[in-house]
Structure 1
Amino acid sequence: MLPADDADAFEWLAFEQSGVLTTPQATRLLTEGVVRGRIHSGRWRSICRGVLLTGNGRLTRDQQLWVAVLAAGPDAVLAGVTAAAEAGVRGLRHEPLHVLVPAARRAARTSLRRLPIDMPAVLVHRTTILPGAHRQLGRPPRTTTARALVDAAGWATGVDEAQGLLAAGCQQRRVLPQELDAVLDVLPRASRRQLIRQTAGDIAGGAHALSEIDFLRLCRQHRLPAPDLQEHRVDAAGRNRWLDAYWRKWRVQAEIDGAHHMDARQWAADMRRQNDVWTSGDRILRFPAWLVRARPDEVAETVRRALTAAGWTPPPPRPRQPR
């Protein structure tokens, strides 16, 4: 609820920060005695050293985000998956909260180690490069979606998680591959920089899902020709279709099936589409997404046989390196 027209500076600040203030903010607008009295009376909560809540209930999500930023100190911003989720990227973990602070400033680690039970853990990251173009105007402050995803990919526990984050942001149209590249241009020492650059290129080339990115990586590693991704075609009934991977020269198509393809109605639709492809003269291969990731050698050999049968000539084997 918006404050009344005659609200004072304190009421407006409390509104803008979801009722979470630093002690210096509160004492500057009120008095130290008033602030101490409201905490002792139970009207307000002391969240951690230097941060308080102008109420006594459990922390909401917005309040948790404000606590993370304010407890980390001046110039702190939400970052990584936390900032990306605030930008609207779906399917990301909500905990722990990620905060970015300037490397030259020491974060208030003591405060962050003594958070209440209704507050998730906060991970503080440091950076020497955080230009204004990487900051998103918002409350609480956060990095832009592109910077958030680049950071999140660098902080991820593995390659699959890193690529999945980038694919989710682009697939949901929250960021463009070119924006990821622009962030990398400013971060010469970004963690997993080469992987992020390659993944952004794959997405720009048409890979919309992590399974398609895995498939492209498989083709590169096994020296298979790169397919066109999300190739558009019109089926026999005049409906628009997009092929996951298509080698036009050899008329070979590969479909990467996610879990939704196990649904009975989807299965029937897939069979009709597959029959349409076969009757047009194309070869079609279908792989479940888990097989592409778990057994890439098996998938690559199947693709190799299909392309060879269609007229592709495999490259000569690499010469062995002398011992």
Structure 2
Amino acid sequence: MWPSLPADEADALDWLAFDQAGVVTTAQATRLLTEGTVRGHVRSGRWRSICRGVLLTGNGRLTRDQQLWVAVLATGPGAVLAGATAAAEAGVRGLRPEPLHVLVPAHRRAGRTVLGRLPIDMPAVVVHRTSVLPAAHLQRARPPRTCTARALVDAAGWSRTVDQAQATLAAGCQQRRVTPDELSAVVEALPRARRRALIRQTVADISGGAEALSELDFVRLCRRHGLPAPGLQQRRADASGRIRWLDAYWREWGLHVEIDGAHHMDVRHWAADMKRQNDVWTSGDRILRFPAWLVRARPDEVADSVRRALIAAGWRRAT
């Protein structure tokens, strides 16, 4: 648990412990207490040694806040939470909570021996280095972390797969935690960012309206199969005058494609989906619906269906 707000008579150590969720470095502690007093707290069990140079001013299991502080303090001066860890702290949902990602200046060498001796209630810490970390990429937060846009760009670069990288960027925009323009500004400031080309293309697709990974897959599918690019998340009024958003829409040929995620299986969405589909049909447009998994697993089949629908509506591929 985060230490309670210190009383009026609290000393500097109490306030430091409050600010850092009860986690302090040995250097911080010995600036305020004698070395003997610090050793006595640890030997008596009142305090807990987490790893070399980092102490817990208590003796319980580490909370999530304390784990984050350990990751930053054990890594050394200039360290900040980064990647998926920083993005999750900024409120982006659906990201992996472990390992903890920390970013340090390129000239610093974090001690792997320290991070390799963490206790069982402390997740692994992955240290990344960067030569580009301007003040604009930092968030005023405790523990210190990168801003949401930088966190998502780094997380995409550090992701294990391309799909995971795109899903991370899409999640941040879909949840309204960051804008495509903010992501673009960060990417332009990082000429050596890993997966830079992919990130730029993904952000461009998101800017066009593809806010879900399935929609990004669909845009890429159209591009790869020589189909015209659809408008994404198009605003349109239905028969009752209510504003609807169409996943993908070719206005010139009156073709609408819906990419159905898992939420479309929910009975609460089912009736609304059918009504929207009926509104499209009665207006004279064509509509195709594909489950998100099919877009990824059988792109050729999906592309063939879309191509036939476009040709039936009058599209002719340029030769």
- Provide TM-score, normalisation by structure 2: 0.97
Shift of 1:6: 2.6
Matched-pair contact (CA < 8 Å) for 1:99–1:124? yes
CA distance in structure 1 between the aligned counterparts of 2:275 and 2:250, rounded to whole angstroms: 21
Paired residues for 1:236-275 under 5 Å: 236-275=239-278
Pairing 1:189–2:192 present: yes
CA distance in 1 between partners of 2:87 and 2:269 (Å) = 31
Structure 2 match to 1:42: 45
Which residue in the other structure is 2:57 paired with? 54
Cα drift, residue 315 of structure 1: 2.8
3-state SS of the aligned residue for 1:249?
Answer: helix
- The correspondence for 2:126, drawn from 123, 132, 135, is 123
Distance 1:200 1:243 in 2: 19
Corresponding residue for 1:311?
Answer: 314
8 Å Cα contact 1:78-1:140 kept in structure 2:
yes
Distance in 2, matches of 1:93 and 1:101, equals 21
Residue 13 (structure 1) aligns with: 16
- The 5 Å alignment of 1:123-272 reads 123-272=126-275
Over the aligned positions, Cα root-mean-square deviation in angstroms equals 0.9
The aligned amino acid for 1:58 is R
Unaligned runs of 5+ in 2: none
Runs of 4+ aligned residues of structure 1 deviating over 6 Å after TM superposition are none
1:268, CA displacement in angstroms?
Answer: 2.8
Deviates most, 4-13 or 88-97: 4-13
How does 1:93-112 map onto structure 2 within 5 Å?
93-112=96-115
Q: Could you tell me which amino acid in structure 2 is paired with residue 57 of structure 1?
A: G
Q: Once structures 1 and 2 are overlaid, which stretch shifts more, 138-147 or 230-239?
A: 230-239
In structure 2, which of residues 290, 293, 296 is the aligned counterpart of residue 290 of structure 1?
A: 293
Q: Return the alpha-carbon distance in structure 2 between the equivalents of residues 55 and 264 of structure 1.
A: 49
Pairwise CA distance, 1:278 = 1.1
Q: Deviations over 1:105-132 (max 9, x none)?
A: 1102111000001100111111111111
- Structure 2 CA distance, aligned partners of 1:272 and 1:138? 45
Q: CA deviation at 1:266?
A: 2.4
One-letter code aligned to 1:273:
R
Separation in 1, partners of 2:127, 2:139 = 18
What is the rounded CA distance, in whole Å, between the counterparts of 2:66 and 2:146 in structure 1? Answer: 18
Residues in 2 aligned to 1:233 and 1:243: alpha-carbon distance in whole angstroms? 7
Q: Output the CA distance in 2 between the equivalents of 1:142 and 1:214.
A: 31
Q: State the one-letter code of the partner of 1:105.
A: R
Matched residues, percent identical? 78
Q: Is the 8 A contact 1:233 1:241 kept in 2?
A: yes
CA distance in 1, matches of 2:110, 2:187: 25
| Deviation of the 1:205 alpha carbon | 1.1
Matched residues, number: 316
Deviates more, 1:234-243 or 1:281-290: 234-243
Q: Are 1:81 and 2:88 matched, yes or no?
A: no
Q: Give the aligned partner of residue 26 of structure 1.
A: 29
Aligned to 1:321: none
Match of 1:279 in 2: 282
